[in-house]
Amino acid sequence: MFYLGEYEEETAKEIRSYLDGAGLKVETRPCLVMEEETTYALKDKLSGIKELIEDTGQIEHYISALRSVLPQATLDNFEELFLKELDPLMMETRDKILALSKNPESSSHEEGESLKFGSEEWMNSAIFVSRARNFAGMIMFQNGIKVGEPLENKLDDPVLEISVDHPEGYDPKPEQKRCNVDFYLEKAVNIFVDEFTTPLARDLDDEFWDAYPTEAQRLKVLGLLIEKLATSPTSRKMDFVQFVEECTLHLEDGGSSLNVDGEDAAEDLARVLEKNGVVKWKGDLLKWKSKD
């Protein structure tokens, strides 16, 4: 069987529906997979972080905003107060846009036009909110801060854990550097396709080509190679050394070329042909059976 790939369950179902529709023989096998993510961070008090990072202005802005809103914040309004303290203009514009979407008559036409966000502005807004949430969560966790409880002096010189992209850039290696390795166990589905049915890839729906171009191309290429190998030579027989040489494909299309090298899989390809009654393989000789 030809291994097409490993996919999430819903994606695997969709791919299989396309392949089944074209007549390809498919097998799916559920499995568990482990994803690994390695991140690096500097963990120290703010005073120590300042010795390692040149510009801590944004960090201090976050801390100042937290120091300002936490004394009067509740669980219900903390995030809103924090975001507005960080960037009141952006949040004011967001509130007006949300109000306008609920009630188009709440603003004049001129005001409505001025409030329109482009895609880049919405992206920047989303990034701003995400970073603010992550920072607030990190600093409150690291310093045992809870909304609604006395802040005391926990933000005077708080402990921070700041992600860094290039830990190798520090020389000498700072003692504050941490390496975090996270593993995620997930369900997945492996898809296998019967090699002998891959010539039917020519009948795959155009939607499949649009959604899964890599998979479609691989199936089509394998199908072309299988068709070539299944075609009987004039003598109807071939020694295995010759067959290995035949397990290649070269096509020209205008200024583009397509090359397939299947020599390392020659034995498996020969078994595919034998299993499907195309050849008889005995010793070092392959004989193509009559179509009659």
Query: Are 74 and 125 in a shared domain?
Result: yes
Distance CA 38, CA 285 (A): 52
Q: How many domains is the chain partitioned into structurally?
A: 3
Query: Are 65 and 152 in a shared domain?
Result: yes
Would 129 be classed as within a structural domain? yes
User: For the segment 127-179, what is each residue's pLDDT rounded down to a tens digit?
Assistant: 888 889 999 999 999 999 999 999 999 999 999 988 877 656 555 556 667 77
Query: Are 78 and 112 in a shared domain?
Result: yes
Query: Are 75 and 138 in a shared domain?
Result: yes
* Phi-psi domain of 211 (left: phi exceeds 0; alpha: psi -120 through 50; beta: other): alpha
What does the pLDDT average to over 52-78?
A: 90
Would 177 be classed as within a structural domain? no
Name the residue with higher pLDDT: 64 or 101: 64
Domain that holds residue 140: 54-158
Q: Which residue has the tokens 């402990």?
A: 159
What pairs with residue 256 in β-bridges? 253
Ordered DSSP codes for 109-161: HHHHHHTPPPHHHHHHHHHHHHHHHHHHHHHHHHTT--TTS--TTTTTS-EEE
Residue 116, pLDDT > 60, answer no
- Predicted pLDDT of residue 128: 83
Query: Are 202 and 268 in a shared domain?
Result: no
Distance CA 156, CA 200 (A): 69
Distance CA 282, CA 27 (A): 29
Q: Which residue has the tokens 């070092």?
A: 284
Q: End of a domain among 195, 210, 230?
A: 230
Query: Are 139 and 88 in a shared domain?
Result: yes
What does the pLDDT average to over 260-288?
A: 95
Query: Are 83 and 109 in a shared domain?
Result: yes
- Predicted pLDDT of residue 147: 93
Would 180 be classed as within a structural domain? no
User: For the segment 189-242, what is each residue's pLDDT rounded down to a tens digit?
Assistant: 999 999 999 999 999 999 999 999 999 999 999 999 999 999 999 999 999 999
Compute how many other C-beta atoms are within 10 angstroms of the C-beta atom of residue 81: 18
Would 109 be classed as within a structural domain? yes
